[in-house]
Amino acid sequence: MKILDITIYYHKKSGGIKKYIDKKVEILEKYRDIKHIVIIPGKGNKKYIKSKSTIYEINSIPIPGTGGYRFFKSIKTVNKIIENENPDIIEFGGCYTLIPLIQNKNQICSIFYHSDLINDTNLFPAPKHLKELFLGYIIENVLKKSDIIITPSQKYRKILEDMGIQNVKTIELGIDTNIFKPMKKTTNFWEKFGINNNKIKLLYVGRIAIDKNIKLLIKTLKNLDEEKFHLIIVGSGPLSSWLKIKANKTKNLTYIGHIEDEILLAQIYNNADIFVSASHYETFALTFLEAQSCGLPLVAFDLGLQTQFKKDFLVKEISSTALAEAIIKASNCISKELSIELHQKTKELFSWEKTFNKLIDLYDELLISKSSGQTIKII
CATH number of the domain enclosing 339? 3.40.50.2000
Q: Enter the DSSP assignment of 184.
A: P
In a domain, 378, yes or no: no
Name the pLDDT band for 29 (thresholds 50, 70, 90): very high
- Kindly state the percentage of the chain with pLDDT values over 70: 98
Alpha-carbon span 234 to 256, nearest angstrom: 5
- pLDDT at position 69 over 60: yes
Q: In this structure, are 196 and 323 located in the same domain?
A: yes
Q: Is the dihedral of CA 240, 8, 175, 350 positive or negative?
A: positive
CA atoms within 13 A on the CB side of 163: 20
Q: Are strands 35-42 and 2-6 parallel, antiparallel or unpaired?
A: parallel
- pLDDT at position 242 over 70: yes
Rg (CA), the chain: 21
- pLDDT at position 245 over 90: yes
Alpha-carbon span 228 to 366, nearest angstrom: 55
Q: In this structure, are 147 and 257 located in the same domain?
A: no
Question: Residues near 233 by Cβ (< 8 Å), separated by ≥ 6?
Answer: 203, 204, 205, 208, 214, 217, 243, 247, 253, 254, 255, 256
- How many structural domains compose the chain? 2
- pLDDT at position 97 over 90: no
Q: What is the mean pLDDT of residues 335-354?
A: 97
Q: In this structure, are 356 and 337 located in the same domain?
A: no
pLDDT for 379? 53
pLDDT for 212? 94
Q: Enter the DSSP assignment of 337.
A: H
* Weakest mean pLDDT among 131-140, 196-205, 322-331: 131-140
Residue 93: closest CA among 153, 152, 158: 152
Q: In this structure, are 365 and 344 located in the same domain?
A: no
Is-contact 90 107, C-beta < 8 A? yes
In a domain, 183, yes or no: no
Name the pLDDT band for 378 (thresholds 50, 70, 90): low
On average, the pLDDT of the chain sits at 93
Q: In this structure, are 258 and 320 located in the same domain?
A: yes
- Kindly state the percentage of the chain with pLDDT values over 90: 78
Q: In this structure, are 283 and 336 located in the same domain?
A: yes
Q: What is the mean pLDDT of residues 11-22?
A: 89
- pLDDT at position 126 over 60: yes
Q: What is the mean pLDDT of residues 104-131?
A: 85
In a domain, 115, yes or no: yes
In a domain, 246, yes or no: yes
pLDDT for 333? 97
Name the pLDDT band for 308 (thresholds 50, 70, 90): very high
Q: Are strands 46-50 and 53-62 parallel, antiparallel or unpaired?
A: antiparallel
Alpha-carbon span 371 to 86, nearest angstrom: 16
Q: In this structure, are 328 and 358 located in the same domain?
A: no
- pLDDT at position 362 over 80: yes
Q: What is the mean pLDDT of residues 205-211?
A: 93
In a domain, 368, yes or no: yes
Q: In this structure, are 284 and 329 located in the same domain?
A: yes
Q: In this structure, are 359 and 325 located in the same domain?
A: no
* Weakest mean pLDDT among 11-15, 339-343, 370-374: 370-374
pLDDT for 375? 62
Instruction: Say whether 41 sits in a helix, a strand or coil.
Output: strand
In a domain, 19, yes or no: yes
Is-contact 266 296, C-beta < 8 A? no
Is-contact 143 95, C-beta < 8 A? no
pLDDT for 86? 96
pLDDT for 83? 95
In a domain, 181, yes or no: no
Residue 18: closest CA among 50, 40, 44: 40
Is-contact 248 224, C-beta < 8 A? no
Name the pLDDT band for 374 (thresholds 50, 70, 90): low
Within the chain, where are the H helices?
Answer: 16-28, 75-85, 117-122, 128-138, 154-162, 214-220, 240-249, 262-270, 286-293, 320-331, 336-349, 352-372
Q: Domain range holding 157?
A: 2-173+351-372
Q: Between these two residues, 121 and 173, which has the higher pLDDT value? A: 173
Q: In this structure, are 20 and 36 located in the same domain?
A: yes
Q: In this structure, are 325 and 284 located in the same domain?
A: yes
Question: Residues near 341 by Cβ (< 8 Å), separated by ≥ 6?
Answer: 310
pLDDT for 141? 87
In a domain, 179, yes or no: no
Q: In this structure, are 252 and 333 located in the same domain?
A: yes
CA torsion, points 335, 341, 343, 344, in degrees to nearest 10?
Answer: 160
